[in-house]
Structures are given as structure tokens and as C-alpha cells.
């Protein structure tokens, strides 16, 4: 391991390294040693920036949740444009093709991480809950535009979309669903 070499934006490099390990090898392989090896830095770099490994993982999850803001902005900009089904299909495919599924597995598998995340995100499953809020906001705006029927239970619809799409992508080692498969699910539950 290199020592004494300055790292530019060490936190981001460590987060990116953790994401690569998580996607490639799964939550069980995510250790401080695996992260620092992947980032090509000394183990002490991680502990210089974070109190312990669970603090690092909590910040990683919260950082990835913040990145949902960009997807939310794209979804909000699509209100009243294109088809509702296509807009949701694009957002859900992008969300679950990313690190989101692995982050859910990581959160479920580590008690210390879950406890830390409860301080910042008191209810629900991080990333899934946040994505659900984005979908609720989008569907509410589309309902206001008359593109979703007025009596639609937006909360239940959003939970159905998030939960079902998550299940499509949950096996990270198997076949990744195509946008057409995601669209089929979205089209089957979104009222017109």
C-alpha cells in the first residue's frame, strides 16, 4: 500500500472504491481492507476520515441517497411530457441498475449500519424509501396535470412500483431486467 501519497478527495475515492467492491463482490466482501485495497491507499486513510467502518458505510449510504436528487430532478422535469409509464420506467431502471440494490442488501445485513442510519433516516429502508418519495412527488404532479386519475392512491402506487421493481433487480448475480421488462411492470400498475 502506498504511504505518504496525498489523495485528492479521499472520501469520494473511498466511496467509489466501496461501491465497486459492493457491486462486484456483494455486501459480505465489503470490509475496510477491501475498500482501501480497491482505493489503492493505506487503511489509515479510511480511519482518518471516519470514526469507524460503520460510520464510513453510513456516510456512503447517505451520499448515495443524496445522489437520488439528480434522478428526482429529471423526473420532475418530465411532468406533463412524454408518457407517465415511460418516465417512470426510465427512472426505475436507472435507480435499480445502479448501486441501489446492493445498498439495500448492505443495510439489511449490517446491524451497526442500520442503527447509524436510523439516526438520519428514522423510518423505512434507506434508498427505497427515498426513491418512493420521488415517485410519490412525481405521481402527485402528474395527477395534478390530469395524467393520473384523481382518485388514485398515489402512496400505494409508489410502494407497488418501488417494491416490485426492486424484486425484479434483487438478484444481483442473475439476469438484470431490461427496460422492456420494467416497462411491463410499470404499465401493468399505473392507471391511465
| pLDDT tens digits, one per residue of 35-59 | 999 999 998 899 899 999 999 999 9
Examine residue 54 and state whether it is found in any structural domain, yes or no: no
Examine residue 59 and state whether it is found in any structural domain, yes or no: no
Same domain for 139 and 171, yes or no, is yes
Q: Over 90: is that where the pLDDT of 139 sits?
A: yes
Position 140 confidence tier, pLDDT thresholds 50, 70, 90? very high
Where is pLDDT greater, at 141 or 128? 141
Same domain for 29 and 89, yes or no, is no
What pLDDT is stored for residue 46 in this prediction?
92
What pLDDT is stored for residue 120 in this prediction?
80
Same domain for 86 and 159, yes or no, is yes
In this structure, what CATH number is given to the domain that contains residue 42? 1.10.10.60
**b (16+ CB within 10 A) / e for 85-111:** bebbbbbbbbbbebbbbbbbbbbeebe
In percent, the amount of the chain with pLDDT more than 70 equals: 95
pLDDT tens, residue by residue, 143-175: 999 999 999 999 999 999 999 999 999 876 678
Same domain for 96 and 145, yes or no, is yes
Examine residue 163 and state whether it is found in any structural domain, yes or no: yes
**What mean pLDDT comes out for the span 16-44?**
92
Examine residue 84 and state whether it is found in any structural domain, yes or no: yes
Examine residue 114 and state whether it is found in any structural domain, yes or no: yes
pLDDT tens, residue by residue, 100-135: 888 888 888 888 888 888 888 777 888 888 899 999
Examine residue 60 and state whether it is found in any structural domain, yes or no: no
Examine residue 126 and state whether it is found in any structural domain, yes or no: yes
What pLDDT is stored for residue 184 in this prediction?
97
Q: What predicted TM-score, i.e. pTM, was given to this entire model? A: 0.84
What is the span of the domain harbouring residue 93? 67-189
In this structure, what CATH number is given to the domain that contains residue 112? 1.10.357
What pLDDT is stored for residue 1 in this prediction?
44
Amino acid at each position: 500500500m502506498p504511504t505518504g501519497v496525498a489523495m485528492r478527495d479521499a472520501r469520494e475515492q473511498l466511496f467509489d472504491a466501496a461501491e465497486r467492491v459492493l457491486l462486484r463482490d456483494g455486501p459480505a466482501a465489503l470490509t475496510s481492507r477491501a475498500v482501501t485495497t480497491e482505493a489503492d491507499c493505506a487503511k489509515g486513510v479510511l480511519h482518518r476520515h471516519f470514526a469507524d467502518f460503520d460510520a464510513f458505510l453510513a456516510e456512503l449510504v447517505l451520499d448515495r441517497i443524496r445522489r437520488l436528487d439528480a434522478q428526482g430532478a429529471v423526473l420532475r422535469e418530465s411532468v406533463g411530457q412524454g408518457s407517465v409509464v415511460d418516465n417512470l420506467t426510465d427512472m426505475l431502471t436507472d435507480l435499480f441498475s445502479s448501486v441501489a440494490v446492493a445498498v439495500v442488501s448492505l443495510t439489511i445485513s449490517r446491524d451497526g449500519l442500520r442503527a447509524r442510519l436510523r439516526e438520519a433516516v428514522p423510518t423505512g429502508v434507506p434508498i427505497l424509501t427515498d426513491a418512493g418519495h420521488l415517485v410519490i412527488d412525481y405521481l402527485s404532479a402528474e395527477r395534478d396535470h390530469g395524467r393520473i386519475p384523481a382518485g388514485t392512491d398515489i402512496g400505494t402506487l409508489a410502494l407497488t412500483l418501488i417494491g416490485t421493481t426492486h424484486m425484479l433487480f434483487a438478484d444481483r448475480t442473475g439476469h438484470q431486467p431490461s427496460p422492456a421488462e420494467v416497462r411491463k411492470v410499470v404499465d401493468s400498475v399505473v392507471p391511465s
